[in-house]
Amino acid sequence: MIRIENEFIQAEIAPIGAEIIVLKRRGAQNVLWKKEDSIWNRTSPNLFPIVGRLIDDNYTLRGQKFQMNQHGFARDCLFEVIKIATDEVRLLLRSSEQTKVKYPFEFEFIVTYRLMFNQIEVSFQTKNLNSHIMPYSVGGHPGFAIGGELSEYQLDFHESMILERSILDGPFYSGKLETMDINKELSLENELFENEALVFKSPPFSAVTLTHKSQGPMVTLSSNNWEAVGFWTKTFAPFFCIEPWWGWADHLNSSGDLEKKIGVHLLLPNQMESVSFTIELH
């Protein structure tokens, strides 16, 4: 485990998947859930080079078919530590013969964790090392530990707004939308997640707080440029996920062509793109 800390918070990151396993205030408990394989075998996976699931778990690229499991392969790969300081670590995944079987591109994918007061900034940097366009998506998937019933928690959006939920049919998007009128907060109930995740594309909010109704706010996730936010849990599971995404799963009518996939980023040759989000501990 790789440990970073400052005078306010501490974090531990696993080189496999560059996955953050522990995040806590000094002297306090871990806000991330301690994974149990029988419930969910992840804690805070990093999603690359796709977010969500592909129809039949495959895609085509210039007429050739490739297989890719849900959320891509980065979460299962060993990352190289390329920079480490007391309060920051940077981890690198390079393309290899193994990754090219699933994703035929030369790339560098860097995950950086940086502590700032009571916050941790998570950055994803993707570089296209090819002489042609590289389609990709990226995202975070932190799961936060909750105790008791889900109904004891709420999401605080800090202002009233009308949200459009993208309706899922299984793991794929149906193309239908549901309007939700939010009066600053959304009380969490298991019924909200009977049809998989609660997803908002092009969210009109830049921050959301997971709050225990009687004990107060736990964590706030924020980003100035996220393209979608997913909220997910399993029925009666002791975790709740807030997922910042730059891309999403296939639609039911997707062609399967990765370059034409809705929401995919088309990174130009020898170019680099960076996105980030922040987790604030209360």
- The structure tokens listed for 186 are 């959304």
Q: How confident is the model at residue 37 (pLDDT cuts 50, 70, 90)?
A: very high
For residues 247-259, give the mean pLDDT: 97
| 165-222 residue pLDDT tens | 999 999 999 999 999 999 999 999 999 998 789 999 999 999 999 999 999 999 999 9
Statement: 2-281 belongs to CATH 1.10.3720.10: no
Burial class (CB in 10 A: 0-12, 13-18, 19+), 21: middle
Flag whether pLDDT at 76 surpasses 90: yes
C-alpha 98/C-alpha 270 separation (Å) is 21
Nearest-angstrom CA–CA distance, 209 and 268 = 35
pLDDT digits (tens, 9 = 90+) for 78-97: 999 999 999 999 999 999 99
Q: What angle do CA 48, 53, 54 make, to 5 degrees?
A: 105
What's the pTM value of the predicted model, to 2 decimals? 0.97
- Is the separation of the CB atoms in 272 and 127 below 8 Å? yes
User: What is the reported pLDDT for 243?
Assistant: 98
CA distance 253 to 159: 35
Return d(Cα 203, Cα 268) in angstroms, integer.
26
H or E stretch including 243? strand 239-246
C-alpha distances (whole Å) from 21 to each of 100, 110, 145, 182 are 28, 18, 12, 32
